[in-house]
């Protein structure tokens, strides 16, 4: 029993009365990739005639049974090597990707704040801001007042009037900053941040870190995916280490990050 109480609360103690906001129960996520029926028309036809579907549809098992509970006020970091399933897990929590099995329960609709929220690249930054806000369910009357604020925050206008140029003309850093600014404009109850803080220059990173702190103050729960371990150490008390779609470690940030560092840079530590 002593062992149990010891392991019971990864973040501090006396957390039993806290309210869960996200419950992920043994979730598996599988991507189905249609890789074409075959390398040549002949082999494709042969496969089609035989009626064998298996070689054309490849399954990528990205998340292989993840279970976790997040509570109100939690800021949880997610670390793991590339392709370990971090972003996929966030999408499953956000309800954007249906799990193959298992279930996700959330208190409110989670919002995924990523740099991949590609809108229409042919449109100006300004129009994208409006579209993004509307897509997040912001009322139209509110959107109008926020556009300038969002553009200012993103800093795309620092070097001349870029907000009226199509987004495809932006540098990748600028586009990422604008997308982050759009997503961060709204207060979210459950906020899932996908590598958004690693973008932009030092000044923008400072601004966005501040904004995330603000959002955290209002948000119930924050998940943060990042390869930048220092930003996780700054803003999260609890960290989950995913590896090949499985939770490898879940605990206080310092310990998990330490172990993860050791795993990724085995030569640096002896």
Q: Which of residues 107-126 bind another protein (CB under 8 A)?
A: 107, 109-112, 114, 116-120, 122-123
Tell whether residue 44 is a contact of another protein (CB under 8 A): no
CB 60 within 8 A of CB 92: no
Tell whether residue 45 is a contact of another protein (CB under 8 A): no
Q: How many CA atoms lie within 13 A of 95 on its CB side?
A: 11
Binds another protein by CB under 8 A, chosen from 53, 98, 171, 201: 98
Tell whether residue 247 is a contact of another protein (CB under 8 A): yes
Question: Is 189 or 206 the residue whose CB approaches another protein more closely?
Answer: 189
Question: Is 138 or 209 the residue whose CB approaches another protein more closely?
Answer: 138
Question: Least distance to another protein from the beta carbon of 181, Å?
Answer: 15
Q: Which of residues 128-167 bind another protein (CB under 8 A)?
A: 130-132, 134-137, 139-140, 143, 166
Question: Least distance to another protein from the beta carbon of 14, Å?
Answer: 12
**Looking at 148-156, 213-221, 222-230, 254-262, which segment touches another protein (CB under 8 A)?**
254-262
Q: How many CA atoms lie within 13 A of 150 on its CB side?
A: 28
Q: Which of residues 204-233 bind another protein (CB under 8 A)?
A: none
Tell whether residue 169 is a contact of another protein (CB under 8 A): no
Binds another protein by CB under 8 A, chosen from 78, 79, 93, 222: 93
Question: Least distance to another protein from the beta carbon of 249, Å?
Answer: 5
Best CA proximity match to 62, nearest among 78, 45, 84: 84
Tell whether residue 66 is a contact of another protein (CB under 8 A): yes
């Amino acid at each position: 029993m002593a062992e149990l109480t010891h392991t019971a609360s990864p973040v501090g103690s006396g957390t039993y009365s806290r309210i869960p906001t996200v419950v992920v129960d043994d979730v598996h996520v599988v991507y189905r990739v249609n890789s074409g029926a075959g390398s040549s028309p002949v082999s494709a036809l042969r496969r089609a005639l035989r009626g064998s579907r298996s070689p054309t549809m490849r399954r990528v098992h990205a998340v292989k049974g993840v279970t976790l509970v997040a509570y109100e006020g939690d800021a949880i970091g997610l670390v793991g090597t590339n392709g370990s399933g971090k972003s996929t897990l966030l999408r499953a929590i956000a309800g954007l990707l249906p799990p193959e099995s298992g279930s996700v329960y959330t208190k409110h609709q989670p919002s995924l704040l990523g740099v991949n929220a590609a809108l229409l690249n042919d449109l100006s930054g300004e129009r994208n801001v409006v579209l993004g806000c509307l897509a997040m369910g912001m009322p139209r009357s509110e959107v109008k007042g926020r556009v300038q604020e969002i553009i200012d925050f993103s800093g795309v206008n620092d070097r001349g009037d870029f907000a009226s140029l199509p987004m495809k003309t932006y540098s990748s850093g600028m586009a990422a900053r604008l997308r982050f600014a759009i997503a961060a404009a709204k207060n979210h109850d459950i906020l899932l941040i996908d590598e958004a803080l690693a973008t932009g220059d030092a000044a923008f990173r400072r601004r966005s870190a501040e904004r995330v702190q603000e959002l955290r103050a209002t948000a119930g729960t924050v998940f943060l995916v990042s390869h930048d371990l220092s930003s996780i150490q700054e803003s999260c008390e609890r960290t989950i280490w995913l590896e090949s779609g499985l939770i490898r470690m879940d605990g206080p940030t310092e310990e998990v990050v330490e172990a993860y560092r050791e795993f990724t840079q085995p030569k640096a530590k002896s």
